[in-house]
């Protein structure tokens, strides 16, 4: 082994290209105009790093970046910082999610620096579900930032090189910034305008909530194109397999912001094998969504069904002509 | 009161017009406020603001009022205190994720802004990115703050302005003055 390999750091960012904000793969794929795929990793309720690596391995073959969720649904799991630390160490491209629910501005700005230092190239700024939605409803909700002011804060740190307080940073965080959109919740007619505001605050890519209603998505994308927002940010549409009609109904009623039309639930009910139908539905949705003008990719969220993600992406044909990668697990974790 | 709060959003246009006139009057009366002293006025202003805005908007006295930018729907009534737009959890009927019995503050805000008219300095102010809340201002009068900012007595962050920086030319003059003072001191000492 030569010296260079001995010091090989899989988390080291790629060289910064002109006009790029980060040294990450996701930004490169998107700016090259290729259809991007991101996938959500279900965080383990465990302190074993292998639980993270096992889940990441199946996702990484078919996606450009892995989302590390930050106690989504206000349920306690391994933290997004922890997951990102493990994944960047192994050379995976990650999108670190930051929710405003649990930490104040002092904690979050520190996390942003720490994340960038570990090699996190993408950050998704979220408001976060209310504490009432999760397993610890007695918790104190923080919401010191909201997603928009958080975006503005990190943009300032990156581009102007100082904290919110004005104190200077010696090395600013080189990150590609994302925001969430939910075109499937009221006020529908203002959802695109709201995204324009997030883009003005610094959002460079948008990941949406689960899409099960393509006509509603089309209406949203019409508004997006009218305002030229698809030229200012990359839109990745959320998709995922429904495991059963019963779960679909439960999600519709209990998961904040998830909208599932009755027709979809009926389609699931009629199917002989509901799990297979859910998978097929996700494939159909991706194929329909990728044809919509202004859509730059999909964001796959397969809760407890990671094994399906590979099949869904392969079958949908969006990764055709793409060389597949396989990340290596670091030896140090055993 | 919830019902009055909804009424206020329905009358956002009129309330905004009233507030704009009111704000002008407040700023015009700055010499009077200055004479009495802003410190002394804080308590009575805060009390009046708490009662009137509390009645009309369920005001939470954040001390940095954004009603003109949020269609007269107070964003501090959002359980997540969102000041820039709705979260993704709004229910199909337009109600809040956290408090299902309450209409989403931001669905209301957009209705109010549309009523105010989406011209640049009216309802379109809903597009301005609002900074994080300054927790030091909680419980203080936001009206007095508006006047102080308009009159340059403080900035958005609540800091008193620094004395204007000396121009390059005047620095020399100052240095000369300082030198002559020093020289005098030395002379006296001798």
Domains of chain B by residue range: 2-162
Domain tally, chain A: 1
Cα separation, A312 vs A240, whole angstroms = 9
Contacts 24+ apart (CB under 8 A), A246-255: A255/A73, A255/A133
What is the average pLDDT across A117-136? 94
Token pair recorded at residue A8: 């090989």
DSSP type of residue A18: T
Q: For an interface test with B, which of A101, A146, A166 has the most B Cβ atoms less than 10 Å from its Cβ?
A: A146
Give the domain extent around A230: 23-241+292-322
A146 in a domain, yes or no? yes
Kindly indicate the confidence band of residue A1, based on its pLDDT and cuts at 50, 70 and 90: very low
- Check if B143 contacts A (Cβ < 8 Å): no
Q: What is the pLDDT of residue A304?
A: 82
**Pairwise CB contact (< 8 Å): B92 & A201:** no
Q: Any chain A CB within 8 A of the CB of B119?
A: no
Per-residue pLDDT of chain B (190 residues; tens, 9 = 90+): 899 999 999 999 999 999 999 999 999 999 999 999 999 999 999 999 999 999 999 999 999 999 999 999 999 999 999 999 999 999 999 999 999 999 999 999 999 999 998 777 778 889 999 999 999 999 999 999 999 999 998 887 777 777 665 555 555 556 666 666 777 666 665 5
Angle, CA A317 vertex, CA A312 and CA A322 arms, to 5°: 110
A8 vs A99, more confident: A99
Rounded to an integer, the average pLDDT of A227-237 is 97
Query: CA–CA separation, B57 vs B54, rounded Å?
Result: 6
* DSSP H or E run through A298: strand A295-300
Answer for the pair A306, A55: CB distance below 8 angstroms, yes or no.
yes
CA-CA distance, B76 to A43, in Å (whole number)?
A: 32
Q: State the Rg of chain B over Cα.
A: 23
Helix intervals (H) in chain A: 3-6, 25-31, 49-60, 80-89, 105-118, 147-159, 191-200, 214-226, 245-254, 262-270, 274-289, 306-316
State pLDDT tens for residues A164-174. Answer: 999 999 999 99
Residue A90 inside a domain? The answer is: yes
CATH of the domain at A314: 3.20.20.220
Residue A226 resides in a domain = yes
Query: How far is B40 from chain A, CA to nearest CA, in Å?
Result: 30
Cα–Cα nearest to A102, from A68, A71, A124: A71
More confident residue, A15 or B176: A15
Q: How far apart are the first and last CA of chain A?
A: 22
Round to whole Å and give the CA distance between A296 and A28. 12
Rounded distance, CA B3 to CA A3, Å?
72
User: A190-194, A306-310, A319-323, B170-174: which has the minimum mean pLDDT?
Assistant: B170-174
CB pairs under 8 A between A and B: 103
Does residue A72 sit at the B interface (CB-CB below 8 Å)?
no
Helix B12-28 with B105-116: angle, nearest 10 deg: 70
- Answer yes or no: is A50 within a domain: yes
């Amino acid at each position: 082994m030569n010296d260079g390999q001995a010091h090989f750091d899989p988390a080291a960012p790629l060289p910064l290209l002109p006009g790029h904000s980060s040294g990450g793969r996701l930004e490169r794929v998107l700016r090259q105009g290729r259809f991007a795929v991101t996938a959500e990793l279900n965080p383990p309720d465990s302190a074993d790093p292998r639980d993270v690596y096992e889940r990441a391995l199946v996702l990484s073959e078919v996606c450009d970046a892995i989302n590390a969720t930050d106690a989504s649904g206000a349920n306690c799991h391994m933290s997004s910082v922890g997951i990102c630390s493990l994944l960047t160490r192994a050379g995976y491209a990650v999108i670190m999610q930051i929710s405003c629910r649990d930490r104040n501005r002092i904690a979050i700005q520190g996390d942003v620096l720490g994340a960038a230092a570990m090699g996190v190239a993408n950050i998704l700024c979220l408001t976060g579900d209310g504490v009432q939605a999760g397993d610890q409803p007695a918790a104190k909700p923080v919401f010191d930032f909201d997603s928009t002011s958080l975006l503005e804060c990190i943009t300032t740190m990156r581009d102007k090189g100082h904290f919110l307080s004005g104190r200077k940073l010696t090395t600013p965080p080189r990150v590609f910034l994302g925001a969430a959109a939910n075109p499937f919740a009221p006020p529908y007619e203002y959802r695109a305008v709201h995204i324009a505001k997030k883009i003005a605050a610094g959002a460079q890519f948008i990941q949406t909530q689960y899409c099960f209603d393509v006509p509603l998505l089309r209406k949203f994308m019409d508004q997006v194109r009218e305002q030229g927002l698809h030229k200012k940010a990359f839109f990745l549409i959320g998709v995922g397999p429904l495991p059963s009609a019963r779960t679909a109904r439960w999600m519709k009623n209990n998961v904040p912001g998830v909208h599932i039309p009755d027709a979809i639930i009926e389609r699931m009910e009629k199917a002989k094998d509901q799990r297979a139908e859910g998978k097929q539905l996700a494939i159909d949705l991706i194929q329909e969504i990728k044809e919509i003008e202004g859509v730059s990719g999909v964001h796959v969220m397969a809760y407890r069904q990671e094994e399906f993600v590979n099949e869904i992406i392969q079958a949908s044909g969006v990764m055709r002509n793409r060389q597949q990668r396989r990340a290596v697990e670091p030896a140090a974790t055993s | 009161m919830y019902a009055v709060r909804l009424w206020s959003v329905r009358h956002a246009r009129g309330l905004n017009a009233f507030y704009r006139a009111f704000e002008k009057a407040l700023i015009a009366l700055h010499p009077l406020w200055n004479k009495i002293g802003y410190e002394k006025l804080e308590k009575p202003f805060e009390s009046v603001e708490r009662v009137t805005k509390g009645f009309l908007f369920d005001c939470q006295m954040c001390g940095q009022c954004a009603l003109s930018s949020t269609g007269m729907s107070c964003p501090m009534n959002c359980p997540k205190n969102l000041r820039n737009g709705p979260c993704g959890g709004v229910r199909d009927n337009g109600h809040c994720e956290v408090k299902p019995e309450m209409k989403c503050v931001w669905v209301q805000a957009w209705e109010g802004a549309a009523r105010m008219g989406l011209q640049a300095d009216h309802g379109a102010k809903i597009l301005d990115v609002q900074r994080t809340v300054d927790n030091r201002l909680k419980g203080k009068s936001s009206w007095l703050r508006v006047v102080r900012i308009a009159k340059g007595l403080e900035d958005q962050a609540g800091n008193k302005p620094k004395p204007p920086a000396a121009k390059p030319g005047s620095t020399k003059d100052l240095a000369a003055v300082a030198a002559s003072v020093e020289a005098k001191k030395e002379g006296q000492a001798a």
